[in-house]
Chain A
Amino acid sequence: MSTDRTISRRALFMKMGILFNGLVATALAVPIVRFLLASVTRGRANGYLSWVSLGSISQFPEGETRLATFQNPYITPTDGKTADTACWVRRVEGQQFQIFAINCAHLGCPVRWFPQSGLFMCPCHGGAYYQDGSRASGPPERGLFEYPHTIRDGLVMIQAGELPTPGSPTASLFGKKPPCA
């Protein structure tokens, strides 16, 4: 090992060149990473959630559960049909509603309502829920996800915009935990 501390002109230029490239790479990495994470960072502070209308309250008879569809509040030009989302609207009585996500709380398949037996059934892994959304049987760990809702000017409004999944904060914030079934 040499203890010579002098450095040749070429070696200095090479080190400076590497340092310069490192600086440029770091400077470029910032916008690249921000671009890649755009879909995550935008969602912060409920950036995706908005109030959307499901239609007039008169469309939903008391004591019944009906399928409603709405367009997602955040869309892009190439979304096509996938911008639409379905949900189950249960009008308990008067102004009292329960609005369930179509997605099973197990793995997100579309649940179907069977009014005769008062059950939501999932076609994928056999999850079943009672009419109030609480878990009846099968692999789900909890009841159906519910959208926060309100009645405004005779319209049923829900706060939506994100795919409800078992781990999403919106699911745990607004979704009702299953009552003792």
Chain B
Amino acid sequence: MRLIAQIGEWFDRRLQLAAPIREIAEHPVPKNTASWWYVFGSAALIVFLLQLVTGIMLAFVYVPSASEAWNSLQSLNHDITLGWFIRALHGWGSNFMVAIVLIHMVQVFLFGAYKFPRELTWVVGVFLLLMTMGMAFTGQVLRFDQDAYWGLGIGASIASRVPVLGSAIVKLMLGGPIIAGATLSRFFALHVFVIPGMLIAFVGVHLLMVLKLGINEWPMPGRLVKKATYENEYHELTRKDGAPFVPYAVWKDIFFAAFILVAVAACAIFFGPFGPTGQPDPTIIQTAPRPDYFFLWIYAVLSFLPPSMETPALIIGPVIVIGALLLLPFLSGEGEKSWRRRPIAVLTILLVAVTLATFTHLAGYTPWSPHMNAWSSDPIPARFLQHRTALERQGALVFQAKQCHNCHALGEKGGQRGPALDSVAVQLTQDQLIRQVIQGGGNMPAYGKNLSPAETTALVAFLQTLHPAGQAPARDASRAIALGKIGEN
């Protein structure tokens, strides 16, 4: 034991780190911050460290070349001992990191921790969030499969909409005129060198400010932040009602960090690594690319924006959102911290959470996309075909053969791009059905050029049978009267 102490002294005489480390560890924090609400920042740091370690291990094997990357991922998954587990840890670690960073941000927002004097800590945190999203996107590209390839195409299409500079930005992003070898090389450099380097620097500044300015005290309703008095009040609080960070508060961080690591490892073991999906071969077009989980909401938003709104929303939207986040501590740097007295802050969080959750849920089953194989793989349920005339059944064949089923569901089978047609005959008369089929409209293509008159007649005859039992199909009353009168005369 004495030998160890002597070796320690020998090093510390030269390094002189023991005193400052002890000072950092034992700096006083307000007692009420030793709460389970205050563990997310350190948890994000732990997951980031996990990502660093697993990322370096993956780099031992991964080949950042468009012709080899996919094969090297296959060999990680199948050939190398526990390669699948390291990939799974890294993939699930990224999901956890995005989630924990967002939870941390919500907690900081609701606890008013961004207010004076911690404005810059918040601003650096916003950049850390952006870098985390950047790591998530570039990481998805390194999993160089079909989703990565077409995801890059989506990224390029969005970037190309920037006025004047769009085309140059696309070539800068892709490293050339198309998505190819140079693209993967530069995303590798971004994911492995550029963004992690910036992340480490920004995390350092972020932590430094947490130490220098002190952890945010538990917000008490009615205790207002004033720039003139806050710092004195805070020091008074830590002096009167403070405790050393180690060990008073840190044990909760340690427990939560271990819990998160276990959760990541459990997901990695039970669910395994992500992909890779099909080979990144642009001539294989039978693919429906989807982004990773945390970008699904954007995927959904992009399908709902009307065409005229798209470019402005894509270009101006991010500027507004990021600008609002950066300006927040300067617009409300003083005043009430407690969420109990900040109903608009709470409602904002709820609104954003519900919106993101709804879009993410929708992106899970993409009701806006035609089901490409419904026409050949989803049969029309038998009840729509029983007791039908030959013409009506011929119409059902047209319905399948002309891919109507790709967008319209029957008996809950088929696409959801257009309305389900189970009871269409109740809503549209024969003439309206013919017009809709031939001319399209309301986001439906016109089929006039691709249906012969006989096919149209059969199809509409089939559609007219689609009404619930006991409910009469729609009919044009005026026409019946007109026809009736002609009949009488």
Interface residues of A (CB under 8 A from B): 36-37, 39-40, 43, 48, 67, 69, 72, 74-86, 102-103, 106-112, 114, 116-119, 121-126, 128, 130-131, 136-141, 161-163, 165-169, 181
Contacts and interface: CB of A to CB of B under 8 A. Distances in A.
Interface stretch (B50-58, B61-69, B477-485): B61-69
B172 interface: yes
B370 interface: yes
Nearest to A84: B283
Interface in B16-42: none
Interface string B260-278: 0000000000000000000
A169 B372 CA distance: 31
Interface residues of B, number: 71
A18 B279 CA distance: 53
B285 A112 contact: yes
B445 A119 contact: yes
A72 B368 contact: no
Interface in B444-459: 444-447, 449-450
A83 B180 contact: yes
Contact of B157 (A36, A72, A83, A107): A107
Contacts of A43: 167, 171, 177
A26 B66 CA distance: 34
B153 interface: yes
B381 interface: no
A167 B285 contact: no
A126 B308 CA distance: 16
Contacts of A48: 176-177
Interface of B: 65-68, 149-150, 153-154, 156-162, 166-168, 170-172, 174-185, 279-283, 285-289, 299, 302-303, 305-308, 310-311, 368-370, 372, 375, 401-404, 406, 417, 440, 443-447, 449-450
B172 A37 contact: yes
A137 B443 contact: yes
Given A39-B171, A82-B282, A102-B282, A137 B444 contact: yes
B372 A121 contact: yes
A112 B375 CA distance: 14
A54 B155 CA distance: 28
A54 to B, nearest CB: 12
A38 to B, nearest CB: 9
A74 B461 CA distance: 54
Nearest to B404: A117
A116 B401 contact: yes
A109 B308 CA distance: 19
Given A74-B177, A86-B285, A79 B66 contact: yes
A78 B65 contact: yes
B283 A123 contact: no
B74 to A, nearest CB: 14
A69 B284 CA distance: 10
Contacts of B306: 139
B168 A40 contact: yes
Contact of A124 (B154, B166, B179): B154
Given A86-B285, A117-B447, A108 B153 contact: yes
A107 to B, nearest CB: 4
Contact of A85 (B172, B178, B288): B178
A168 B65 contact: no
Contacts of B403: 114, 116-117, 119, 121
Contacts of A78: 65-68, 181-182, 184-185
A109 B153 contact: yes
B153 A84 contact: no
A168 to B, nearest CB: 5
Given A109-B150, A126-B368, A168-B167, A139 B302 contact: yes
A109 B154 contact: yes
Contact of B179 (A86, A106, A136, A163): A163
14 contacts: A40-B168, A78-B184, A82-B181, A106-B310, A109-B150, A110-B282, A112-B285, A116-B401, A117-B445, A123-B287, A124-B369, A125-B302, A136-B446, A167-B162
Contacts of A114: 375, 403, 406
B181 A123 contact: no
B174 A39 contact: yes
A167 B164 CA distance: 9
A109 B179 CA distance: 13
Contacts of B449: 118, 130-131
A83 B305 CA distance: 32
A168 B166 contact: yes
A9 B359 CA distance: 68
Given A43-B167, A121-B370, A168-B167, 7 more contacts: A75-B180, A76-B180, A79-B180, A107-B157, A126-B370, A130-B449, A138-B368
Please list the 9 inter-chain residue pairs (A to B) with the smallest Cβ-Cβ separation, ordered nearest first.
Answer: A80-B67, A167-B160, A167-B166, A108-B153, A78-B181, A136-B445, A165-B160, A125-B303, A123-B288
Contacts of A81: 66-67, 279-283
A145 to B, nearest CB: 11
A37 B156 CA distance: 17
A112 B150 CA distance: 14
B368 A125 contact: yes
A82 B175 contact: no
B3 to A, nearest CB: 49
